[in-house]
Amino acid sequence: MIKAEPRTILNFLHTYFDVVRDLFEFQSHDGLISKEAFDMIVKKHGQQNIVGKLKEYRIVRNIGSDYEMRDVYFKMMEFLLFEFKPLLPETIEKYKGAISELYMKIRLGENHDREILQERIKNISHQIREFVDLVERNAFRLLSETRDLKSNIERVEYRDKVHKASFWIEYYILPLNKILDVNHSESVTNKLVEVSEYANRKRLDFGDETIRTEFEKLYSQLIQTNQDLLRQSKILTNELLPLLERIRTESLILTGFIEFLRHPYRTQTPPLLKGSRTMVYAKDMLFKVKEFFEQFENQESVYYEESDAQFDKWIFDRDLFKTQLNAELPVKDFFGWCSQMLLKEFPNIETEKFFAITGLLFDEDLNVEFPKKDERTIIETLNSRINLPKIKIETPAKI
Amino acid sequence: MVYPTHHKRIVEDLMGGKFILSNEDHYNSLKENDKFYQEFFKLSFDLELVIKPEFSYLLSKESQENFSRDVSIFVAILCYELDKDGQNFMEMLDYHEFNYEEIDRYFENSSFIDLIENNKTLKDQDSRRTLINGMARRNIVHKSFEDRFVFTQAHRVFIEFAKELAMRKMAVSQPEATNEN
């Protein structure tokens, strides 16, 4: 039982990350952290006072007088630093046994206890997840090793390169390929395809709904798993198996590119000038838009006081004007007609009222005819003088 | 004052981040007036002009320029994949006419897929088209058809970059051997 809050442990890891990383690296290399190395690392960082906390938070534990980083932290550091230890395929192959056994028990126990069946499905899912994770980590590490060989930054002799490549191929790449080869009846991938087909059937026809849902989840997981494994298998076939052939050639340029691709965002690339482009909108558009929206952010209360003063309340009666227009068709000058209609009712023409009536022009029933010559009419409103074309409204054709 | 011929085009192209290639009309004028332009860009914009026998371009003061990084990743992955495919990648960059389908095949089957999927200019076919169009605007590639392109000599900037990086890494990795050489 750890007394500290999870967040406190994470904060501790964040604060003393450099110490934990050094401990991790030492253990990756030597398998164990000797007492001398442990003392040297904490002393190097001037953090002798954290030894107690490292034990209290169960980050390290004593092995005799030496130390060992606990597996969960070791794996987390591997993941964070992307520094995976290559696993011998024998370690990965053990999943075949676990998955096969659970699969057999699920099939044989279909009609027995519901809860144990549900647990077994969850367990097989967990085993599959672990298996895929290990395959991906191993493939990543093998890729990294083989890229090292291809890059050959240390410029080792061709004979030594072949020796190294043969070692990787014989002990790691070929056996991993066997595990992933879907056409091989004994491969784990082949077994997973079998489980996937079974889960597919059961998610549709199993009697119990809860179990059906579990099979559905397992099936979805297996679809993704099979895609991921296929991708790893492709990498093995295209990139790792032809390793001997690939390391025959060497190029300084390719070495540079491989080294660059290790940390593409940490390496300075050729300093090309960023071209300036002419934008169709103004450069200060962003600020203007911001300014526009900012005015609505703090809205002040507005009080409206009703006034008793009389004002002209004129509402455009569309139907009335349309009936009058239809009665007077054909009209030779539509805008002139609008102004006449207003003058019948008011002593002057207000622009707003005039435009309200001209809206009739958009009525689809009207047979509008535009002038062939440049014939204009001038309408004088209270505050404007509007120059408009003479638009003719014809009597609608009778069908 | 009389300016060299093609002055406007030279300034516009270089300030637009373009490479001026030796087979273009205004390259000769630029090269003949090398000193004038070096001084012109330095005094006017505080920029350094690089004139090589095959192309010319302006150096940026900004070290974190994304376009250069994206093109470097693009060229690096392409060279790696071409080599994996058994091709002589230098010959391919010099003479081969690439088509989009071929590029997509190399990138989609690459073992650098995590890097590709996490880079917004490389992650899918459309993004790669946009990057290639950007490279065409800068004269790094020349589009022979809508879906085909060849690298111009400007690609050598990235080749030189890879060479220098390899040399630097090798010097760190084997300092004695390098010193002896």
**B52 with B96, same domain?**
no
Q: Which two tokens stand for residue B36?
A: 């004038």
**B115 with B81, same domain?**
yes
> Does residue A219 contact residue A203 with C-beta atoms inside 8 Å?
yes
Bridge partners of A388?
Answer: A377
How far does A147 lie from chain B, in Å, by closest CA? 10
Spatial CA neighbour of A60 closest among A52, A69, A71: A69
B157: in domain = yes
Whether the predicted pLDDT of A215 surpasses 90: yes
What percentage of chain A carries pLDDT values higher than 70? 95
- Nearest-angstrom CA–CA distance, B86 and B74: 19
ipTM value for the complex:
0.92
CB contact B14 to A (< 8 Å): yes
- B108 → chain A, closest CA residue: A231
For testing contact with chain A, the best of B161, B168, B173 (most A CBs within 10 A): B161
Q: Residue A21 is inside which H or E element, if any?
A: helix A17-30
**B112 with B142, same domain?**
yes
Give the model's pLDDT for residue A362: 83
Contacts of A256 in chain B (CB under 8 A): 161-167, 169
Straight-line distance from the first to the last Cα atom of chain A, in angstroms, rounded to the nearest whole number: 93
Work out the pLDDT band at A309, boundaries 50, 70, 90.
low
Rg (CA), chain B: 18
B38: in domain = yes
- Nearest-angstrom CA–CA distance, A161 and A155: 9
> Does residue B50 contact residue B57 with C-beta atoms inside 8 Å?
yes
Question: Which CATH number characterizes residue B106's domain?
Answer: 1.10.10.10
- Quickly list H helices, A155-306: 158-168, 174-180, 188-205, 209-235, 243-246, 252-262, 285-297
Contact A256 B115 (CB under 8 A): no
List b or e across B38-70, with b for residues whose CB sees 16 or more CB atoms inside 10 angstroms. eebbeeeeebebebeeebbbbebeeeebebbbb
Contact A260 B137 (CB under 8 A): no
- Nearest-angstrom CA–CA distance, A244 and A234: 17
Give the model's pLDDT for residue B178: 47
Q: Which two tokens stand for residue A71?
A: 């597996």
**B48 with B75, same domain?**
no
**B42 with B76, same domain?**
no
Give the model's pLDDT for residue B63: 62
Looking at the structure of chain B, the number of domains it has is 2
B146: in domain = yes
> Does residue A97 contact residue A153 with C-beta atoms inside 8 Å?
no
Give the model's pLDDT for residue A399: 47
Cα A262 from chain centroid (whole Å): 22
Contacts of A270 in chain B (CB under 8 A): 68, 72, 157-158, 160-161
Give the model's pLDDT for residue B130: 94
Give A308's DSSP letter: -
Contact A267 B75 (CB under 8 A): no
| B33: three-class secondary structure by DSSP | coil
**B157 with B93, same domain?**
yes
Write the CA distances from B10 to B2, B136, B137, integer angstroms.
Answer: 15, 17, 15
How far does A140 lie from chain B, in Å, by closest CA? 9
Q: In A, what residues contact B, Cβ < 8 A? A: 143, 153-155, 231, 234-235, 238-239, 242, 245-246, 249, 251-261, 264-265, 267-277
Work out the pLDDT band at B181, boundaries 50, 70, 90.
very low
Give the model's pLDDT for residue B2: 82
pLDDT in tens, A242-293: 888 888 888 899 999 999 999 899 888 998 887 665 555 666 778 888 888 8
Q: Which two tokens stand for residue A269?
A: 């690339």
User: What average pLDDT does chain A have?
Assistant: 86
Give the model's pLDDT for residue B1: 74
**B72 with B155, same domain?**
yes
B125: in domain = yes
Domain boundary among B59, B82, B97: B59
Sheet holding B20-21, edge to edge: B20-21, B55-59, B48-51
**Mean predicted confidence (pLDDT) in B67-93:** 94
Whether the predicted pLDDT of A366 surpasses 90: no
CB contact B105 to A (< 8 Å): no
Domain boundary among B19, B39, B59: B59
Q: How many CB pairs under 8 A join A and B?
A: 136
**B34 with B83, same domain?**
no
| A87: three-class secondary structure by DSSP | coil
B177: in domain = no
Give A272's DSSP letter: B
Higher pLDDT, A276 or B127: B127
Contacts of A257 in chain B (CB under 8 A): 75-76, 79-80, 162
CB contact B174 to A (< 8 Å): yes
Phi-psi region of A64 (alpha: psi -120 to 50; beta: other; left: phi over 0): left
> Does residue A269 contact residue B70 with C-beta atoms inside 8 Å?
no
Contact A239 B167 (CB under 8 A): no
Give the model's pLDDT for residue A239: 83
Write the CA distances from A202 to A209, A213, A222, A293, B104, integer angstroms.
Answer: 11, 10, 14, 56, 38
**B49 with B114, same domain?**
no
Q: How do A60-63 and A66-69 pair as beta strands?
A: antiparallel
Q: Residue A24 is inside which H or E element, if any?
A: helix A17-30
Higher pLDDT, B21 or B60: B21
CATH number of the A6-81 domain: 1.10.10
A343: Cβ–Cβ under 8 A, 6 or more apart, which residues? A349
Cα maximum dimension of chain B: 57
Write the CA distances from A366 to A95, A237, A388, B31, B57, integer angstroms.
Answer: 81, 75, 19, 71, 65
**B75 with B136, same domain?**
yes
CB contact B42 to A (< 8 Å): no
Whether the predicted pLDDT of B160 surpasses 70: yes
Give the model's pLDDT for residue A68: 93
Give A280's DSSP letter: S
Rounded to 5°, angle at Cα A232 from A226 and A238: 130
pLDDT in tens, A383-393: 888 888 888 88
- Nearest-angstrom CA–CA distance, A213 and A191: 22
Whether the predicted pLDDT of B180 surpasses 50: no
Tell me which residue range forms the domain holding B94.
Answer: 66-161
Q: What is the dihedral of CA A57, A59, A64, A66, to 10 degrees?
A: -130
- Nearest-angstrom CA–CA distance, B62 and B94: 29
CB contact B16 to A (< 8 Å): yes
B49: in domain = yes
Give the model's pLDDT for residue A349: 87
Residue A245: CB atoms within 10 Å: 11
**B82 with B138, same domain?**
yes
Give the model's pLDDT for residue B56: 95
Give the model's pLDDT for residue B179: 46
For testing contact with chain B, the best of A79, A251, A260, A272 (most B CBs within 10 A): A272
B175: in domain = no
**B82 with B48, same domain?**
no
Give the model's pLDDT for residue A207: 85
